[in-house]
């Protein structure tokens, strides 16, 4: 389904507020102070800011808005531009740079667009209560890749893998979800806790021939591998044993990171990876169109905050294309 970017909630502030309220509060306004549902009065008046509610609970009586407790709280950017930026990032297969958002949405500075994009990525991040991959005995593909320069690595003469950031990605074949995690290295000691925390014990683990997977692989119902070093990409005796799915994920991830974003600091890489995970886990092949994907991202804005100054203390702003 092609989205109309001139839709009211992308161009009008009142329509945007109504759209966001309907997604966040399908059963009526929820007070973020006391948690009461559909027990609030919408405030009216010439001096009252739009979208303000007041809780009717006797012990509460506090004002609130739909953006309170979300990534949009205290933002000076109009809500309709937030919704449009969220949709653009959700609909772009390989991502959209902060410079492009800056040009499209007419922000006053590049930093505004850069920070906005990071807050939207925070909304895309998978929640802590997400179920482990392979629940019920499914197949989970696991593979590793490298991206960008690791500032903590020893300085060497060659830009080899030892100086790069390490990304480990899991693909749950049954649900179609992806989950990428940052790893200090790809040793047995580093991979064992990551795999045990993110994959169900009853799952079948599918990897390449890397020796670091052998020991942690014993904790699962089965561990099968293919030998890429000798040109084996699908097991001849069992055509379900391969890591082609996760390799396909990496192809999109790397095209986006190199072609769209180009530069990414180590401390932000997990957020960019979450963006690609989100789009992959909510792709068209799973019956999710651009509008549905955006709606899911908007639901993820609640309970997430990412403030500018602590973010900038960790790293100087990096320029995207």
Number of neighbours of residue 51 by Cβ within 10 angstroms: 20
Is residue 317 scored above 80 in pLDDT?
no
Which 3-state string (H, E, C) describes 47-87? Answer: CCCCCCEEECCCCCCCEECCCCCECCCCCCCCHHHHHHHHH
Q: Which residues contact 176 (CB under 8 A, 6 or more apart)?
A: 280, 281, 283, 285, 286
pLDDT in the model for residue 250: 97
pLDDT in the model for residue 157: 46
Of 315 and 89, which is predicted with more confidence?
Answer: 89
Mean pLDDT on 215-244: 96
pLDDT in the model for residue 312: 55
Structure tokens at 157: 């003469």
pLDDT band, very low/low/confident/very high, at 161 (cuts 50, 70, 90) = low
Sign of the C-alpha dihedral computed for residues 9, 13, 19 and 20 taken in this order: positive
Query: Worst-scoring range by mean pLDDT, 47-51, 224-228, 229-233?
Result: 47-51
Beta bridge partners of 294: none
pLDDT in the model for residue 310: 55
Q: Which domains does the chain have, with CATH numbers?
A: 139-264 (3.30.420.10)
Mean pLDDT on 227-249: 96
Of 130 and 124, which is predicted with more confidence?
Answer: 124
Which 3-state string (H, E, C) describes 188-257? Answer: HHHHHHHHHHHECCCCEEEEECCHHHHHHHCCCCEEEEECHHHCCCECCCCCCCECHHHHHHHHHHHHHH
pLDDT in the model for residue 47: 84
CA distances for 69 relative to 73, 128, 139, 142, 302, angstroms: 6, 17, 37, 35, 6
Give percent above pLDDT 90 in the chain: 78
Closest CA to 15 of 64, 84, 61, 71: 84
Backbone angles phi, psi at 69, to 5 degrees: 80, 15
Is residue 300 scored above 70 in pLDDT?
yes
Backbone angles phi, psi at 76, to 5 degrees: -90, -5
Separation CA 251–CA 236 (nearest Å): 24
Separation CA 146–CA 155 (nearest Å): 17
pLDDT band, very low/low/confident/very high, at 151 (cuts 50, 70, 90) = confident
pLDDT in tens, 126-143: 877 788 999 999 999 999
3-state SS assignment for residue 99: helix
In the chain, count of helices (H) and strands (E)? 11, 8
Strands (E) located in 8-151: 40-42, 53-55, 63-64, 139-149
pLDDT in the model for residue 319: 56
């Amino acid at each position: 389904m092609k989205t109309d970017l001139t839709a009211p909630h992308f161009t009008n502030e009142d329509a945007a507020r109504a759209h966001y309220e309907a997604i966040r509060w399908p059963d009526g306004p929820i007070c973020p102070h006391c948690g009461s549902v559909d027990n609030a009065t919408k405030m009216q008046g010439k001096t009252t800011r739009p979208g303000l509610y007041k809780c009717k609970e006797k012990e509460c009586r506090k004002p609130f808005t739909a953006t309170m407790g979300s990534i949009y709280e205290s933002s000076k950017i109009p809500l309709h531009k937030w919704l449009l930026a969220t949709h653009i990032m959700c609909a772009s297969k390989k991502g959209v740079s902060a410079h492009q958002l800056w040009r499209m949405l007419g922000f006053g500075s590049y930093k505004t667009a850069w920070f906005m994009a990071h807050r939207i990525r925070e909304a895309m991040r998978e929640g802590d209560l997400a179920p482990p991959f392979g629940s019920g005995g499914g197949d989970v593909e696991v593979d590793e890749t490298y991206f960008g320069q690791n500032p903590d690595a020893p300085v060497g003469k060659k830009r080899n893998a030892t100086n790069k950031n390490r990304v480990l990605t899991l693909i749950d074949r049954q649900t179609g979800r992806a989950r990428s995690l940052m790893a200090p290295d790809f040793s047995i000691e580093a991979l064992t806790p990551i795999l045990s925390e993110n994959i169900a014990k009853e799952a079948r683990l599918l990897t390449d021939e890397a020796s670091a997977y052998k020991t942690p692989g014993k904790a699962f119902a089965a561990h099968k591998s293919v030998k890429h070093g000798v040109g084996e990409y699908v097991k001849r005796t069992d055509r379900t044993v391969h890591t082609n799915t996760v390799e396909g994920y990496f192809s999109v991830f790397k095209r986006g990171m190199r072609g769209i974003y180009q530069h990414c600091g180590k401390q932000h890489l997990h957020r960019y990876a979450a963006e690609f995970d989100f789009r992959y886990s909510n792709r068209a092949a799973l019956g999710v169109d651009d509008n549905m994907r955006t709606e899911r991202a908007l639901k993820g804005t609640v309970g997430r905050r990412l403030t500018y100054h602590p973010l900038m203390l960790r790293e100087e702003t990096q320029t995207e294309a």
